[in-house]
């Protein structure tokens, strides 16, 4: 395949645990970073900030975001856009596991 073309399988991508109950898998294009997050019930991702624009697609469950001190309920079927430099965090709502896909632009070197 031409350089830069790639096929990934989530089942082969290493899992990290950046917060208790939060599992993260990361892959990179040249211009963006894609992260799959899974959150156990009760999990919290503390408020933080990064320079990349973040788009979060909620695939399963319910996640309450705090974005610049405003609460936003992200449910399966919704998408949250968070510009770079805006403080945000999230916590699981209810007893269902949450799965999201997050894209970060530009590609990120490290993750908080």
Q: Which is nearer to its own copies, 1 or 109 (CB)?
A: 1
- With CA atoms as reference, report the closest residue to 93 among 35, 39, 16, 36: 39
Q: How far apart are CA 72 and CA 6, in angstroms?
A: 34
Q: Which of 82, 90, 92, 98 binds its own copies (CB under 8 A)?
A: 82
> How many residues of this chain bind its own copies (CB under 8 A)?
38
Residue 5 interacting with its own copies (CB under 8 A): yes
d(CA 51, CA 77): 26
Q: Is 83 in the site for its own copies (CB under 8 A)?
A: yes
Task: Provide the mask over 23-62, with x wherever binding to its own copies is found by CB under 8 A and - wherever it is not.
Answer: ----x-xxxx-x------------------x-x-x-x---
Q: Is 10 in the site for its own copies (CB under 8 A)?
A: yes
106 touching its own copies, by CB under 8 A: yes
Rounded Cα distance between 8 and 1, Å, is 13
Return d(Cα 108, Cα 67) in angstroms, integer. Answer: 20
């Amino acid at each position: 395949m031409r350089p830069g073309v790639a096929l990934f399988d989530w089942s082969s991508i290493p899992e990290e645990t950046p917060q208790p109950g939060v599992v993260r898998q990361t892959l990179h294009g040249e211009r963006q970073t894609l992260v799959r997050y899974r959150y156990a019930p009760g999990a919290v991702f503390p408020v933080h900030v990064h320079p990349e624009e973040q788009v979060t697609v909620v695939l399963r469950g319910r996640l309450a975001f705090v974005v610049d001190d405003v609460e936003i309920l992200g449910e399966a079927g919704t998408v949250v856009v968070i510009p770079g430099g805006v403080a945000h965090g999230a916590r699981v709502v209810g007893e269902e596991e949450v799965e999201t896909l997050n894209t970060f632009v530009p590609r990120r070197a490290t993750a908080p």
